[in-house]
Chain A
Amino acid sequence: MSVETASKPIVSVPAAPVDTRSASLRAVYIIWYRDILRYWRDRWRLVASLAQPLLFLLVFGSGLSSSLGSAFGRGTGISYIQFMYPGIIGMSILFSAIFGAMSIVWDREFGFLKEVLVAPIDRWAVAIGKALGGTTQAMIQGLILLVLAPFVGVKLNLLTVMELVPLAAVLAFGLASFGVALASMMKSLQGFQVVMNFLMMPMFFLSGALFPLTNLPGWMTWLTRADPASYGIDPIRRVVLANSGLPHVDSLGLTINGQVLPIPLEAAIMLGFGAILLGVAVVMFQRRD
């Protein structure tokens, strides 16, 4: 074979239009779908992730409920375990949303992220696909816990469930976006433990999942109001308990300057938080590394 190099100069082909916008939308879908597929395939994770909420409800909840007795409810007729139950739904959403979205760090570690990042798609598709994947997983994880309602003396009806779905979605979206933003700044699995201990656990404890956010010491009042998860868990509790015939739940809820916030406002705060962090994640992903 001869090596005469064809000295014909290359004609630059005018870049044939690659329609990256519709490709990116397809990518959002398939990235989301992959997460759901993996979630569905990993049944053990599904079962295992129910273990922690159950432990909280059965041991922690029952224990505190009987020791506090009727002193807990301040005349609302709400027992501690009833109060805690929506909080545990919130907890489940919080952890699954952040963990789900942070699977990007695993994808980076095991090489799969490279396959996605070199594709002729826009990087925002990766951030949004992952955020939606985390949102969906977390919603399922949270709403599954509704089957426990009869055991804690909470009555569910169709209206409650219909109101809960969008509220769970909003909380899940906010925290999944938070997870994607975190993952976009992490290059390895090493920072994971730090995130877990210094961000997720405080977020959970301060969110009002385990105790009412009223009559707290001043510094703690401030911290709980700064915790975005508070604005996602409070409306879930109010909807679940009010529809269950416990209308005075609001007096155990989240207040700002003594005022109870309207549920749509709380949802808007959560949604805004999610949108901002998703924006951060998109910017971080678009930086070429």
Chain B
Amino acid sequence: MAETAIEAKGLIKKYGDLVAVAGIDLEVHGGEIFGFLGPNGAGKSTTISMLCTLLTPTAGIARVAGIDVMHDPAAVRQRIGLVFQDPSLDDQLTARENLEFHAFIYSVPAPDRRRRIGEMLEMMQLTDRASSQVKTFSGGMKRRLEIARGMLHQPQILFLDEPTLGLDPQTRKSIWTHLNELRSKKGVTIFMTTHYMDEAEYCNRIAIIDQGQIAALGTPDELKAMVGGDVVTITSDQPEQAASEIKQMLGVTPSRDDGTLRMEVADGKAFVPRLVRELSAPVDTVTLRRPSLDDVFLKLTGRAIRDEEVSAKDRNRAMASRWMSRRR
């Protein structure tokens, strides 16, 4: 891998007594897709904001593209592209006009402007809508336009804060296709936050962040290996009896969530027949699967990232943005 793109040491952000980020160390290699994964309020956005020079750290150091974020924020900003969590386009202007505005304030040399704008529109498949006002765009198109805009001044690193938040699964997938294409064609390093576990699988490496600290860091496979083998879940009418039997006879301590028992075992294929044979408590269903990043998160934090809460929040957000655009 190429040289280090981002380096943070002991990064802390406090708001009075509230500790939003409690000491983060990380190193992102040039050219990789690095995912910052965690539930809402874990400190993802605060960390990304410090790396992008939008927030001043309370303590610690961070270097982005080799430049200290405290020492020369303007130089950092010239070398990074940003896609914010909330929309930041002028929807009265056309796609091309939004890009032209960006090219101007980021000092893209005049002879390159047209060419780069054309190229980015092409890559993000927006060429045929270049002259439409942004207010006519769908959520996914707006996101693609923001990614195009973030790349216009040829940054070394592209930061994306929850780029797929509130988008439908199909659109999320297409955003990922575009990000992968950007990385392979432009060699840009991508640093992104997400709370969608399934998306983290697309990343080369992931840091799982919880309560302002990094709980684990590695490739998706490495993290999954932390779970140790396979995940077996059973549902039962008498979960307590089942749990104690499993503990006594099979030597595994399951975790319980209502009628569902969940356990991590080294060899799932051999474990399931034994389980069914030995258990006298009634078992309704048995599932065996490879560990997912959800399991990793659960193991590290003792909590699941609750998808229901997340989607309720997304709905609110989507509603709020619809309301805003109507008012405009």
Measured CB to CB, the residues of A under 8 A from B are 1, 3, 5-6, 8, 10-13, 15-16, 18-20, 22-23, 26-27, 29-30, 34, 37-38, 41-42, 106-107, 109-112, 114-116, 118-121, 288
Contacts and interface: CB of A to CB of B under 8 A. Distances in A.
Interface of B: 1, 3-4, 7, 27, 29, 52-54, 56, 63, 65-68, 71-72, 74-75, 77-78, 82, 84, 86-93, 97, 100-102, 104-107, 149, 204-205, 218-219, 222, 324, 328
B105 A13 contact: no
Contacts of B53: 118
B86 A29 contact: no
B75 A18 contact: yes
Given A6-B29, A20-B74, A118-B53, 10 more contacts: A3-B205, A8-B4, A11-B66, A18-B74, A18-B78, A107-B90, A109-B324, A111-B87, A114-B86, A115-B101
B78 A12 contact: no
Contact of B92 (A3, A23, A30, A42): A42
> Which of B27, B52, B88, B218 gathers most chain A CB within 10 Å?
B88
A30 B101 contact: yes
B63 A12 contact: yes
Nearest to B325: A110
A106 B90 CA distance: 11
B242 to A, nearest CB: 38
Contacts of A112: 88-90
A121 B27 CA distance: 28
Contact of B3 (A10, A22, A30, A111): A10
B7 A10 contact: yes
A20 B65 CA distance: 19
A38 B93 CA distance: 7
A26 B103 CA distance: 10
A168 to B, nearest CB: 26
B4 A29 contact: no
Nearest to B6: A10
A37 B89 CA distance: 15
21 contacts: A1-B219, A3-B219, A8-B4, A10-B3, A11-B66, A12-B66, A13-B66, A13-B67, A15-B75, A23-B107, A30-B100, A30-B104, A30-B105, A106-B328, A110-B328, A111-B87, A112-B90, A114-B88, A118-B52, A118-B82, A120-B107
Given A18-B74, A114-B84, A118-B52, A10 B92 contact: no
A118 B91 CA distance: 19
A121 B96 CA distance: 21
Contacts, number: 105
B71 A15 contact: yes
A115 B3 contact: no
A272 to B, nearest CB: 30
A29 B97 contact: no
B36 to A, nearest CB: 16
A137 to B, nearest CB: 14
A286 to B, nearest CB: 13
A107 B324 CA distance: 12
A41 B78 contact: no
Contacts of B82: 118
A249 to B, nearest CB: 41
B204 A1 contact: yes
Given A1-B219, A5-B27, A110-B324, A38 B92 contact: yes
A34 B90 contact: yes
Nearest to B26: A5
B3 A8 contact: yes
Contact of A120 (B68, B88, B106): B106
A6 B3 contact: yes
Contact of A37 (B75, B93, B107, B204): B93
Contacts of A114: 84, 86, 88
A244 B75 CA distance: 58
Contact of B107 (A3, A6, A26, A110): A26
A3 B66 contact: no
Contacts of B90: 34, 38, 107, 112
Nearest to B149: A115
B27 A23 contact: no
A37 B101 CA distance: 11
A41 B90 CA distance: 13
B104 A27 contact: yes
A18 B75 CA distance: 6
Contacts of A18: 72, 74-75, 78
A41 B84 CA distance: 27
B54 to A, nearest CB: 6
A41 B92 contact: yes
Contacts of A288: 56
B5 to A, nearest CB: 9
